[in-house]
Amino acid sequence: MRKWAIPSALILLCLLSLLSDQGRKVHANADEGAVDPPKVEEKIGAVPNGLQTDSDVVKRESESISSRSLRSNAEKFEFQAEVSRLMDIIINSLYSNKDIFLRELISNASDALDKIRFLSLTDKEVLGEGDTAKLEIQIKLDKEKKILTLRDRGIGMTKEDLIKHLGTIAKSGTSAFVEKMQSSGDLNLIGQFGVGFYSVYLVADYVEVISKHNDDKQYVWESKADGAFAISEDTWNEPLGRGTEIRLHLRDEAQEYLEEGKLKELVKKYSEFINFPIYIWASKEVDVEVPAEEDESSDEEETSDSTSEEGEDEDAEKSEDEGTEKKPKTKKVKETSNEWELLNDVKAIWLRSPKEVTEEEYTKFYQSLAKDFGDEKPLAWSHFTAEGDVEFKAVLFVPPKAPHDLYESYYNTNKANLKLYVRRVFISDEFDELLPKYLNFLKGLVDSDTLPLNVSREMLQAHSSLKTIKKKLIRKALDMIRKIAEEDPDESSGKDEKGIFSGIVLELNIDGDAEVEKSGTDDDEKKGQYAKFWNEFGKSIKLGIIEDATNRNRLAKLLRFESTKSDGKLTSLDQYISRMRAGQKDIFYITGNSKEQLEKSPFLERLKKKNYEVIFFTDPVDEYLMQYLMDYDGKQFQNVSKEGLKIGKDSKNKELKESFKELTKWWKGALTSENVDDVKITNRLDNTPCVVVTSKFGWSANMERIMQSQTLSDASKQAYMRGKRVLEINPRHPIIKELRERVVKDPEDEGVKQTAQLIYQTALMESGFSLPDPKDFASRIYSSVKSSLNISPDATIEDDDDVEETETETETETKEGAGSSKGEAEPANNDADTDLKDEL
């Protein structure tokens, strides 16, 4: 035992010493690990305390990002049904141009900055201090985490705003855009419907929106586009001060948007004319001199000695000059540095001279302004400066297409597409006092140096200068539209009278204003442009004639329509007057459902035969239009379906009146119950025996139809507005001549009365009126058919002899059914049932 005791003790001592050394190492490692953990890039983007956080936050954020799940402690919400439909369409879209998401985010950021700058006009404290007061947009990318971040220092959103604008309350534009997408599949118009934010799901599968409003705490909105979103108070991210930061966790197939070059290209393409600076956190390589290491320098010296004699001479000279000190040797290396790079340094386009702005720049500016990034250019634009009592600069555009809701609730909504700036400061884009309603399809902006800045919107609306601005804008807008026609080769007036104004700059001096205007594209592009404009916005011009008495004549020059001589093309009132016959005093027109229907109208027979031109008005608004447009260029308008039509002079008119006096008097009496005011002879007809016309200032047949189709129409009130009906007969027609002979022979003949009634009802229907009693008309037609087939009026319809047989068959079938059902239970009765069938 003693022999083994000493070695065992030695072994135990060795083990204890090993364990103590291991403990000291563990303790040392623990001390080393107690140092502060590294923080996320201090002063990121030159922002004090930018995105600093601690290890716990890093851990929570990494867990959230890796799992792409909503935070457990956040308040959960469900997207509204229409928003979910919209997001499903976007997520599953095969649309190739996903670039639009950045355009929409920058546009929204610009709007937020505009709002806070407007509020700062009356309260400078809302901007805050330091970096918070800088109105700018910042873009940053993180390639490792695949996150693209866009930040603005705009007005920000409260918790309620986040819920309202990003999830639960779908704006009216959401359903409209969904319908548009389902019909056309064009995602490019998403910004026009106010739902551009959701385009982020073209490239991201998880989105965080961090926002801070001056009136609320900082909150985080997050969603995976799976039908739900969550909102929680932000206690872990960098305090924004004010504004919104959007983080897009990009899909694997959208990694191209983590390239600086791609983002710069998109900003240049879509957001060049945003009125706030857009910065990107750009990286670049720079050459930096650093001390060269000794071994490297000695290697360089040896190489130089062995390869260059000049190097030897220089070394000799250096050794001779012992008094001079040797400079430390350095070398240049490339280092990567980051800094904010400005992407949009273009001067506001309306502040530049029109001569310096290219057509491409105007098109891009329109797309940015109107959020219309389609392939079509604006139809026209007007860039001018007004000087005098009121000074302002303006750019107006005519869009290539009418908005989807242009005429919806026209009189009940205040829509304006002009942005108002005062001394380069955005004031409002809901200023409907700048243009009248009928010009609300125009896009553009006005920048005034005359209007005051630090006043409320209500005080600005009442400012006297606003009326002057509105007057000049209307004039310039109408001139711009007129020039579309003048420059269109298809418009003969543009060629003959004004020439082709192609790509020129006009300098005008009107009413003491120095104005500059620029417009123009190539002649080929301008061909058919006014017809396109008219098809899109023609109704607005007609509404302008109704509403704007001051500019009625100017607007009337812009009217276009088809006529009996236009060969299917649009023509103008000036062109109509140039084709008028000698001695023609009136401008003839007719209203109805369609051109095809009107071309066959009996009212045109005599006019076409005598080579008079008649205008076709087929739009329902035309009936209202012609109540206000009474004359043009000294010529009166005459509806050929109303009383008062004069087509030359008829030398036999008095004789015809006298010879048909008895018939007209008799016929008027026979139509007393039909509310016919008079029966007259006329020279407006050729092949038709008669027509029904209305009084000059009453409703036409077309107007009656329009009013009856109104949802809330009141038949009792309409009776007061109906024109008095007059039956005008053609004294040259054989039917009328024969009817006159029959009436002279026997005015009490019932057959003649029935015929006269049928003729009137036929004329009523052919003249565009609805029959009050269609059944009575049908009965008279059938009676006339009987007469033509020599069928006696007393002929009766044969009785239906199959009635009893049908009833018997029905009874038989019933009994058969009953018999068959009983047959299963009582098979003995089958023979009796067969005998009953045979008897029947």
Specify binding-site residues. 104, 108, 152, 157, 171-173, 192-197, 244, 457
Token duo for residue 489: 């080769």
Residue 181 region by backbone torsions, left for phi larger than 0, else alpha for psi between -120 and 50, else beta: alpha
**3-class DSSP state for residue 567?**
coil
Contact predicate 135/153, CB 8 Å: yes
The position carrying tokens 């053609």 is 730
Instruction: Provide CB contacts within 8 A for 318, sequence distance 6+.
Output: 324, 326
Q: Which amino acid is at 178?
A: V
The β-bridge partners of 524 are none
Residue 46 region by backbone torsions, left for phi larger than 0, else alpha for psi between -120 and 50, else beta: left
- Pick from 90, 38, 44: nearest CA to 245: 44
Round to the nearest angstrom and report the end-to-end CA distance of the chain.
132
Q: H/E/C letters for each residue in 394-452?
A: EEEEECCCCCCCCCCCCCCCCCCCEEEEECCEEEECCCCCCCCHHHCCCEEEEEECCCC
- Pick from 218, 250, 215, 244: nearest CA to 231: 218
> What are φ and ψ of residue 433, in 5° steps?
-85, -10
Indicate the DSSP class of residue 345.
-
The β-bridge partners of 396 are 382, 444
Angle formed by the axes of helices 81-91 and 172-184, nearest 10°: 40
Cα–Cα dist 297/449, whole Å = 67
Contact predicate 136/278, CB 8 Å: yes
Cα–Cα dist 606/732, whole Å = 12
Distance of CA 379 to the CA centre of its chain: 16
Cβ neighbours of 776 (radius 10 Å): 13
Q: Annotated binding site for ATP, which residues?
A: 104, 108, 152, 157, 171-173, 192-197, 244, 457
Query: For strand 562-563 and strand 586-591, is the pairing parallel, antiparallel, or unpaired?
Result: unpaired
Instruction: Provide CB contacts within 8 A for 658, sequence distance 6+.
Output: none
Angle formed by the axes of helices 294-307 and 309-320, nearest 10°: 120
The β-bridge partners of 333 are 288
**3-class DSSP state for residue 369?**
helix
Longest dimension (CA), the chain: 167
Contact predicate 678/721, CB 8 Å: no
Indicate the DSSP class of residue 168.
I
The β-bridge partners of 140 are 149
**3-class DSSP state for residue 672?**
helix
Contact predicate 354/383, CB 8 Å: yes
Token duo for residue 455: 């006043």
- In order, the DSSP letters of 16-54 are HHHHHHHHHHHHHHHHHHTSPPPPS-TTGGG-TTTT---
Give the angle subtended at the CA of 831 by the CAs of 828 and 832, to the nearest 5°.
95
Please state the length of the chain: 840
Query: For strand 75-78 and strand 228-233, is the pairing parallel, antiparallel, or unpaired?
Result: antiparallel
Instruction: Provide CB contacts within 8 A for 707, sequence distance 6+.
Output: 699, 713, 718, 721
Contact predicate 585/635, CB 8 Å: yes
Cα–Cα dist 153/133, whole Å = 8
